[in-house]
């Protein structure tokens, strides 16, 4: 999205604010700023910022939403602003009078802090304003009447220790396809040219002005984030052959749909469309039909303002393979239905400036997506709540949990922006300040199960905001205790993504500043213990690593075309064809990994993987279990220096497996078998079943199938095994504990030393002497070459060893180790009578 700082400055006091600091704060708070550029519109130049946000923050895809976010993270003062560039002062005056009277009645979406007498007085005042101004009476009366009735009802509701009735909706299993659906008809629009100030804002935001109704539509989209759809009202009446047609959301059926983007789509019963009688106007929330699209000559419009379910829109877009601006906004979610009419009033006033004689009527309205819902009056007191029927937005934030996640931080005063001493825990009294910035109503409590609305009258009385925090609250420092928490209520504009305790904690950390949090781990006085399952898994992993294996990790999702020994379990709705099935064995993935490394010219390695596989039992139930699989061989080795390199034989591979089982401390029985089911992967005559001493099946071991190795062009002397990990864990008897040490952060220095020595002296003896007389910087000694020629004596051999030096405290220089090498050489000459070579 592209936002203009010129437009943003109309809402917030950003004059003199550093743009680089604003970009930095947006980046820290989870917004990816892609570009900052200058945009020229007429004679004015504005700076625009192009940014992208996460999928759950659809509420910031408008100038209103991003202004709230910028105000939240920068703590800028909000400007008191009237609607600009509206010449019809009479309509504006009544509009503001009406909104002001309504705000006195409702707060936070209908919660009243006034007595019924005051409410009745404001209702009379609102009716007078509506009767006095006839042009907006039809469009606003039904909505205001609904909100006023809810306000009167709620004014008597929160009386403590009194039995009252609450409206509850019995929800069916079908998900809601929309939360609000409203359609209006506007007629007699003769002048649709957009003003210059509106075109400038569109240019600043990356839109190209068209000087028609589309400019107003794009402006409302940018300002409020609500994608209204416009249709030609006269075309709809001609297509339906009925002036009083009815709108409905229904299944499309199997039909051809020609969209406004001049593309043809095939609809089915899963596609949701908007119909006027039986005529399809649009695919709901995505794209309209070209048959009923408006043109520059259109004077009567049907305007659809709906808030669809984001999941439904994503499914529709995926089925059609189509993404539009409207579908992107709907798929993000986060639209507040209470602000939908505000955006509609804004569009109405903008059009009324150049069309004072236009007519506006409400065509269709509905607040619920369920067709046959019933409203019941369910009695309950404040002590007993019907949780399964009444949806509440109370949440509990544990003080101790917040301190654990927040970790150590500097004592930071967000008002003066100063840092104090370092603290090992978060200051608990900081949180109330951030609750106020997030517009969250809160209450500190010690009683479990407390409800915020139970104490609403006694907590705040007639105050519409929470009480101010204590003085010098940023200097308080006390340890969080068990059983202390905040009871909070989430504001409406954030209820779509703040649903869990961890979401609120993330918002608090974001406002505090992730850059102000330290990366120092706290000092724990007590060391944690490892459970038995982790110790066994670590023992198995270390045993295989010591045998020269490399640990591998691969996806559980595989392609249906993979070479397999069993039928894979196909997914109903896969992401792609390459990940369309669940694997039933680990062996194909191991073979593919080795094959890809050979193709890329890498060395052949031995690897193992511990992963999940899936299968079906006799009754058709799905089973998930964990297996341990490995692959080794495929490279020629020599048992002695003088021998030739040979491939690993089946018996040598069997001996290597027995060494691994000996380290596991288990006894395994081998049983040869002609495996038919695994013949596509394993050799049909060089495969064995593995059993424990109690005849329990452990796994399978065998050589790779020569047909498969030939088709993949890999060596035939690869050996595979796959073991049941659960059976293996139960069979292990002993566990080992290992000590770890940190690795050095400084580079190594490697020096080679060549000399001639007597054959009777072994390399291990020389290695022990080098370690004994070497310095603390000597970390490893390796044998590189063992050479013998005719020019040397028969009882002598030439050795080349590699000395590796490394420090844990500094970067070594060549001068630091020259003395060590000289001392080692003198010791070897004196002790073993060696002859140093150049």
SS3 assignment for 255-281: EEEEECCCCEEEECCCCEEEEECCEEE
- φ, ψ of residue 72 to 5 degrees: the values are -70, -40
pLDDT for the residue numbered 610? 92
pLDDT at 463 over 80: no
46 token code pair: 């504005």
pLDDT for the residue numbered 76? 60
One-letter-per-residue 3-state SS of 610-657: EEEEEEECCCCCEEEEEEEEEEEECCCECCCCCCCCECCCHHHHHHHH
Q: Using 50, 70 and 90 to split pLDDT, how confident is the model at 112?
A: very low
- φ, ψ of residue 831 to 5 degrees: the values are -90, -40
Quote the pTM value. 0.52
pLDDT for the residue numbered 414? 52
Nearest residue to 308 via CA among 331, 288, 292: 331
User: What is the rounded CA–CA span in Å between residue 106 and residue 127?
Assistant: 16
User: What is the rounded CA–CA span in Å between residue 537 and residue 725?
Assistant: 9
Q: Which of 468, 486, 516 delimits the end of a domain?
A: 516
pLDDT at 90 over 70: no
pLDDT, tens digit (0-9, with 9 covering 90-100), for 592-602: 999 998 888 88
- φ, ψ of residue 640 to 5 degrees: the values are -135, 165
Nearest residue to 236 via CA among 275, 262, 273: 275
pLDDT at 161 over 80: no
577 token code pair: 């064809």
Most confident listed range (461-470, 747-756, 782-791, 829-838) = 747-756
Specify the CATH number for the domain of residue 800. 3.30.70.380
Q: Other C-beta atoms within 10 Å of 279: how many?
A: 18
Separation in Å, CA 190 to CA 85, 195, 201, 649: 19, 15, 23, 90
pLDDT at 2 over 80: yes
Check whether residue 282 and residue 234 sit in a common domain. yes
User: What is the rounded CA–CA span in Å between residue 402 and residue 579?
Assistant: 39
pLDDT for the residue numbered 96? 46
**Which residues make Cβ contacts (< 8 Å) with residue 492, sequence separation at least 6?**
108, 109, 336, 338
Biggest alpha carbon–alpha carbon distance for the chain: 121
pLDDT at 122 over 80: no
H-type helices in 337-430, by residue range? 340-354, 399-406
Check whether residue 421 and residue 495 sit in a common domain. yes
Is residue 689 assigned to a domain?
yes
Q: Which of 731, 762, 790 delimits the end of a domain?
A: 731
Separation in Å, CA 741 to CA 62, 412, 511, 735, 738: 52, 36, 38, 20, 10
- 698 three-class SS: strand
Mean pLDDT of 680-707: 90
pLDDT at 706 over 80: yes
Check whether residue 238 and residue 281 sit in a common domain. yes
Q: What sign does the dihedral 818-819-820-822 (CA atoms) show?
A: positive
pLDDT, tens digit (0-9, with 9 covering 90-100), for 192-241: 999 999 999 999 888 899 999 999 999 999 888 889 999 999 999 999 88
- Concatenating the DSSP letter of every residue in 720-731 gives EEEEEHHHHHHH
> Cβ distance 247 to 286 under 8 Å?
no
**Which residues make Cβ contacts (< 8 Å) with residue 498, sequence separation at least 6?**
395, 490, 504, 507
Is residue 744 assigned to a domain?
no
Q: Tell me, rounded to whole angstroms, the distance of Cα 825 from its chain centroid.
A: 60
Q: Using 50, 70 and 90 to split pLDDT, how confident is the model at 454?
A: very low
Check whether residue 548 and residue 664 sit in a common domain. yes
Q: Using 50, 70 and 90 to split pLDDT, how confident is the model at 576?
A: confident
95 token code pair: 């509009």
pLDDT at 151 over 50: no
Mean pLDDT of 696-722: 91
Q: At what angle do helices 340-354 and 213-224 cross, to 10 degrees?
A: 150
- φ, ψ of residue 87 to 5 degrees: the values are -80, -25
pLDDT for the residue numbered 433? 77
- Concatenating the DSSP letter of every residue in 171-230 gives --SSPPSEEEEEEEEEE-----PPPHHHHHHHHHTTPPP-SSHHHHHHHHHHHH----EE
Specify the CATH number for the domain of residue 57. 3.30.56.10
User: What is the rounded CA–CA span in Å between residue 7 and residue 539?
Assistant: 62
pLDDT, tens digit (0-9, with 9 covering 90-100), for 345-354: 888 888 988 8
136 token code pair: 């907006």
Q: At what angle do helices 213-224 and 196-204 cross, to 10 degrees?
A: 60
Percent of the chain's residues with pLDDT above 70: 73
Is residue 169 assigned to a domain?
no
Check whether residue 569 and residue 462 sit in a common domain. no
pLDDT for the residue numbered 520? 65
Check whether residue 676 and residue 784 sit in a common domain. no
**Which residues make Cβ contacts (< 8 Å) with residue 793, sequence separation at least 6?**
none
pLDDT for the residue numbered 62? 87
Burial degree of 47 (CB within 10 A; 0-12, 13-18, 19+): middle
pLDDT for the residue numbered 213? 92
Specify the CATH number for the domain of residue 241. 3.50.40.10
Mean pLDDT of 722-744: 75
| Element of type H or E holding 288 | strand 287-288
Is residue 371 assigned to a domain?
no
User: What is the rounded CA–CA span in Å between residue 527 and residue 796?
Assistant: 55
Task: For residue 326, give its domain range.
Answer: 178-366
pLDDT for the residue numbered 460? 35
User: What is the rounded CA–CA span in Å between residue 488 and residue 268?
Assistant: 45
User: What is the rounded CA–CA span in Å between residue 791 and residue 837?
Assistant: 14
pLDDT for the residue numbered 689? 92
> Cβ distance 578 to 584 under 8 Å?
no
Q: Which of the two residues, 788 and 375, has the higher pLDDT score?
A: 788
pLDDT for the residue numbered 675? 52
pLDDT at 665 over 90: no
pLDDT at 319 over 50: yes
Q: Tell me, rounded to whole angstroms, the distance of Cα 407 from its chain centroid.
A: 22
645 token code pair: 């390199």
138 token code pair: 């039809």
Separation in Å, CA 15 to CA 12, 42, 201, 416, 651: 9, 21, 18, 20, 81
Is residue 212 assigned to a domain?
yes
44 token code pair: 């004015």
pLDDT for the residue numbered 561? 62
Is residue 491 assigned to a domain?
yes
Q: Which residues pair with 394 in a beta bridge?
A: 489
Mean pLDDT of 656-680: 79
Q: Are strands 569-570 and 581-582 parallel, antiparallel or unpaired?
A: antiparallel
Q: Which of the two residues, 504 and 141, has the higher pLDDT score?
A: 504
> Cβ distance 708 to 683 under 8 Å?
no
38 token code pair: 């200058």
Specify the number of domains making up the chain: 6
Specify the CATH number for the domain of residue 726. 3.30.930.10
Least confident range of 378-392, 595-609, 783-797: 378-392
pLDDT at 411 over 70: no
pLDDT at 384 over 70: no
Q: Which of 463, 486, 516 delimits the end of a domain?
A: 516
> Cβ distance 541 to 597 under 8 Å?
no
Q: Using 50, 70 and 90 to split pLDDT, how confident is the model at 154?
A: very low
pLDDT for the residue numbered 611? 92
> Cβ distance 610 to 631 under 8 Å?
no
Residue 394: how many CA atoms within 13 Å on its side-chain side? 20
Check whether residue 258 and residue 313 sit in a common domain. yes
Check whether residue 644 and residue 682 sit in a common domain. yes
pLDDT, tens digit (0-9, with 9 covering 90-100), for 45-81: 888 888 888 877 888 888 888 888 888 877 765 543 3
pLDDT, tens digit (0-9, with 9 covering 90-100), for 245-264: 888 888 888 888 999 988 89
Nearest residue to 165 via CA among 491, 368, 373, 389: 389
Check whether residue 715 and residue 609 sit in a common domain. yes
Q: Which of the two residues, 328 and 42, has the higher pLDDT score?
A: 328
Nearest residue to 664 via CA among 728, 747, 580, 574: 728
Is residue 389 assigned to a domain?
no
Check whether residue 664 and residue 717 sit in a common domain. yes
Check whether residue 495 and residue 612 sit in a common domain. no
Is residue 436 assigned to a domain?
yes
Separation in Å, CA 96 to CA 129, 152, 338, 346, 362: 10, 22, 17, 12, 21
pLDDT at 632 over 90: yes
Mean pLDDT of 513-530: 69
pLDDT at 273 over 60: yes
Nearest residue to 439 via CA among 517, 340, 501, 507: 507
Residue 147: how many CA atoms within 13 Å on its side-chain side? 25
pLDDT at 484 over 50: yes
Mean pLDDT of 292-302: 91
Mean pLDDT of 452-471: 38
Least confident range of 286-300, 492-506, 557-571: 557-571
pLDDT at 733 over 50: yes
478 token code pair: 């006390």
User: What is the rounded CA–CA span in Å between residue 504 and residue 527?
Assistant: 30
pLDDT at 722 over 90: yes
Mean pLDDT of 172-176: 43
pLDDT for the residue numbered 164? 28
Kindly report the average pLDDT of the chain as a whole number.
75
Check whether residue 685 and residue 536 sit in a common domain. yes
Q: Using 50, 70 and 90 to split pLDDT, how confident is the model at 483?
A: low
> Cβ distance 761 to 729 under 8 Å?
no
Q: Using 50, 70 and 90 to split pLDDT, how confident is the model at 586?
A: very high
pLDDT at 137 over 70: no
């Amino acid at each position: 999205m592209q936002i203009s700082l010129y437009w943003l400055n109309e809402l917030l006091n950003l004059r003199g604010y550093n743009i680089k600091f604003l970009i930095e704060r947006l980046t820290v708070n989870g917004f990816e700023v892609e570009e900052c550029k200058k945009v020229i519109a007429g004679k004015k130049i504005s700076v625009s910022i192009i940014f992208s946000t996460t999928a759950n923050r659809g509420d910031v895809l408008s100038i209103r939403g991003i202004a709230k976010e910028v105000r939240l993270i920068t703590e800028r003062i909000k400007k008191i602003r009237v609607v600009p560039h509206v010449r019809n002062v009479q309509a504006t005056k009544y509009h503001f009078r009406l909104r002001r009277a309504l705000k006195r009645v409702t707060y936070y979406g209908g919660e009243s802090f006034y007595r019924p007498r005051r409410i009745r007085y404001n209702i009379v005042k609102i009716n007078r304003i509506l009767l006095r101004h006839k042009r907006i009476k039809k469009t606003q009366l039904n909505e205001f009447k609904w909100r006023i009735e809810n306000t009167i009802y709620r004014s008597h509701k929160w009386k403590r220790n009194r039995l009252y009735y609450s409206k509850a909706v019995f929800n069916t299993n079908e998900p809601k396809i929309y939360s609000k659906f409203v359609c209006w008809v506007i007629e007699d629009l003769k002048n649709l040219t957009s003003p210059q100030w509106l075109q400038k804002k569109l240019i600043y935001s990356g839109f190209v002005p068209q000087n028609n109704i589309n400019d107003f539509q794009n402006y409302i989209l940018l300002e409020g984030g609500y994608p209204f759809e416009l249709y030609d009202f006269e075309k709809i009446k001609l297509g339906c052959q009925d002036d009083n047609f009815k709108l409905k959301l229904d299944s499309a059926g199997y039909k051809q749909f020609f969209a406004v983007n001049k593309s043809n789509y095939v609809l089915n019963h899963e596609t949701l469309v908007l119909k006027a009688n039986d005529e399809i106007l649009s695919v709901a929330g995505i794209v309209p039909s070209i048959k009923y699209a408006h043109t520059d000559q259109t004077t009567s419009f049907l305007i659809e303002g709906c808030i669809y379910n984001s999941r439904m829109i994503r499914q529709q877009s995926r089925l059609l393979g189509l993404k539009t601006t409207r579908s992107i906004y709907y798929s993000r979610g986060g639209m507040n239905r209470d602000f939908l009419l505000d955006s509609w009033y804004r569009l109405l006033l903008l059009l009324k400036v150049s069309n004072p004689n236009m007519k506006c009527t409400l065509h269709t309205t509905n607040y619920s997506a369920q067709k046959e819902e019933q409203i019941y009056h369910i009695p309950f007191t404040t002590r007993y709540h019907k949780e399964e029927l009444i949806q509440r937005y109370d949440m509990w934030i544990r003080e101790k949990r917040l301190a654990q996640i927040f970790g150590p931080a500097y004592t930071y005063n967000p008002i003066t922006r100063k840092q104090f001493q370092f603290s090992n825990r978060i200051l608990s009294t900081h949180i109330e300040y951030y609750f106020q910035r997030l517009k969250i109503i809160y209450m500190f409590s010690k009683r479990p199960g407390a409800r915020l609305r139970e104490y609403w009258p006694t907590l705040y009385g007639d105050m519409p905001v929470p009480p101010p925090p204590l003085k010098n609250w940023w200097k308080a420092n006390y340890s969080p205790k068990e059983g202390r928490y905040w009871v909070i209520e989430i504001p409406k504009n954030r209820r779509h993504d703040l649903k869990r305790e961890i979401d609120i904690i993330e918002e608090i950390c974001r406002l505090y500043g992730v850059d102000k949090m330290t990366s120092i781990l706290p000092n724990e006085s007590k060391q944690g213990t490892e459970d038995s399952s982790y110790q066994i898994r670590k023992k198995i992993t270390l045993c295989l690593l010591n045998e020269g294996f490399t640990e591998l990790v691969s996806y559980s999702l595989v392609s249906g075309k993979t070479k397999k020994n069993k039928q894979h379990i196909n997914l109903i709705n896969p992401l792609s064809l390459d990940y369309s099935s669940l694997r039933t064995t680990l062996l194909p993935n191991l073979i593919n990994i080795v094959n890809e490394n050979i193709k890329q010219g890498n060395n052949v390695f031995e690897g193992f993987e511990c992963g999940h596989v899936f299968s079906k039992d006799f009754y058709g139930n799905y089973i998930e279990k964990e297996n341990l699989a490995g692959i080794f061989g495929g490279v020629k080795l020599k048992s002695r220096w003088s021998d030739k390199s040979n491939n690993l034989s089946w018996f040598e591979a069997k001996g290597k497996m027995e060494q691994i089982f000996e380290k596991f401390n288990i006894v395994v029985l081998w049983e040869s078998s002609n495996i038919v089911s695994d013949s596509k992967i394993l050799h049909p005559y060089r495969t064995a079943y593995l059993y424990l001493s109690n005849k329990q099946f452990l796994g399978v071991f065998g050589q790779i199938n020569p047909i498969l190795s030939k088709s993949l062009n890999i060596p035939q002397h690869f050996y595979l095994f796959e073991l049941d990990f659960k059976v293996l864990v139960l069979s292990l008897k002993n566990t080992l504990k290992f000590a770890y040490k940190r690795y050095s952060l400084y580079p190594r220095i490697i020096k080679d030393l060549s000399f001639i020595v007597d054959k009777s002296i072994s390399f291990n003896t020389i290695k022990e002497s080098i370690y004994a007389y070497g310095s603390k910087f000597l970390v490893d000694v390796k044998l590189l070459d063992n050479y013998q020629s005719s020019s040397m004596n028969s009882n002598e051999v030439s050795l080349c060893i590699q000395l590796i030096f490394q420090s844990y405290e500094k970067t070594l220089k060549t001068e630091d180790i020259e003395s060590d090498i000289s001392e080692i050489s003198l010791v070897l000459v004196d002790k073993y009578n060696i002859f140093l070579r150049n």
